[in-house]
Amino acid sequence: MDYAKNPAIKNFVEYLQIPSVQPNVNYGQCVSFFKKHADELGLSFKVIELVPKKPIVVLTWAGQEPQLPSILLNSHMDVVPVFEKSWTYPPFSAHIDGEGRIYARGSQDMKCVGMQYLEAVRRLKAEGVKLKRTLHLSYVPDEEIGGHDGMQKWVLTDSFKALNVGFALDEGLANPTEEFALYNGERCIWQMHVHCAGQPGHGSLLLPNTAGEKLRIIINKFMTLRDEQKKILDSDPKLTIGDVTTVNMTQIYGGVQSNVLPEKLTVVFDCRLAVTVDHVEFENMVKAWCKEAGEGVTYEFEQRNPPVAVTKTDTSNPYWVAFKTAADEMNLKLDIRIFPGATDSRYVRRVGIPALGFSPMNNTPVLLHDHDEFLHAHVYLRGIDIYTKLIPAVANV
């Protein structure tokens, strides 16, 4: 097949060629791109700018019963930086090789999903389909740097509340097997700086109460927890990384020069708390470690996500029932997991809206944020087929 001539592929390539790369993204081309498609499809178009130069784009397809809670199909416009010398083809060329692989930053994360939503809507409207519930397609900024000026702020505004969202879909991950990964929750990010104050002095002495001694105790405590969690993960092949708490030491800083005992040393840990962890108990454990390490050991949070309930995947959730029924009819094998990283879904769930993370990319290596990120054209096109079935299923609940 000559994929380059396929209209849906052409649209995808055009979107991929917009270099909406962090940092300091210029979202103007993305906004113009979606305005063009909204006009073509007869969708209402709105831009919300809560932070200057960081637009939130919303395309809306009004439902037959607009008073019902709506469906939100969310994706982000930004992509992570690239190291061009490590790419086989220019990362914003969207080169299609002889095997049909589309190479571009964002091909998996997550411009594919944003376009699959749009192409599925295009097909449904062409077929004369009417949806019961209103459908909103949102394209948000800055997810790759935490979503703080995008989804995190937006869900708290009147403009978001006016959408009356009852259920949301967002990104998942590729999966190298036949199964499609589906994510109904996320671990909570706790990034902690532990400060160890101690007796300063000359580096040739063995003074008591030094910062280094306290630092060693703190590092040992956190890394022992890391070892314990790794053993749990390794002991059960059914577990994935999202099922355990991960702990990683990411920074150590402090001191003035090599022969001076510092008055303070700081170590930073990136912790991702499993959904089963009691946050109060976890923090009390850290407090006890600091007390054990000695006087003057304190901690502060760079980031601290609150606990958020996972989206139910049982008969109590009618949107899940509709999603699963449509997936079964297409013979899709779903593997329900907890997302290993963080997406904008956490902010949606935080305000009480059920959300699922789903990127229809099976038999595909996981290449988000990697060199030579690609998605095969036939996987992309099949994803449109899948959303063409999933969207009416959830929108007609």
**Tokens representing residue 145 in the block:** 């740097």
**Tokens representing residue 260 in the block:** 């001076």
d(CA 30, CA 15): 7
d(CA 69, CA 55): 24
**Tokens representing residue 252 in the block:** 């150590």
d(CA 53, CA 146): 16
Is 65 a known active-site residue?
no
Could you tell me where the beta strands, DSSP code E, fall in the chain? 44-51, 54-61, 70-76, 95-96, 101-103, 135-140, 165-170, 180-186, 188-197, 201-202, 246-254, 260-261, 264-273, 297-304, 334-339, 355-358, 374-376
Give 238's contacts (C-beta < 8 A, 6+ positions apart): none
**Tokens representing residue 131 in the block:** 């949806």
**Tokens representing residue 214 in the block:** 């306290």
Residue pair 331/179 in contact (Cβ under 8 Å)? The answer is no
Give me the helix-helix angle, 377-395 and 318-329, nearest 10°.
140
Give 336's contacts (C-beta < 8 A, 6+ positions apart): 182, 183, 184, 313
Is 2 a known active-site residue?
no
Residue pair 86/367 in contact (Cβ under 8 Å)? The answer is no
**Tokens representing residue 93 in the block:** 């060329």
Phi then psi dihedrals of residue 389, to 5 deg:
-90, -40
Give 217's contacts (C-beta < 8 A, 6+ positions apart): 289, 292, 293, 294
Residue pair 322/313 in contact (Cβ under 8 Å)? The answer is no
Q: Choosing from 109, 142, 143, 149, which is the catalytic residue?
A: 143
Identify the CA nearest to 5 among candidates 88, 77, 100.
Answer: 100
Catalytic amino acids?
78, 143
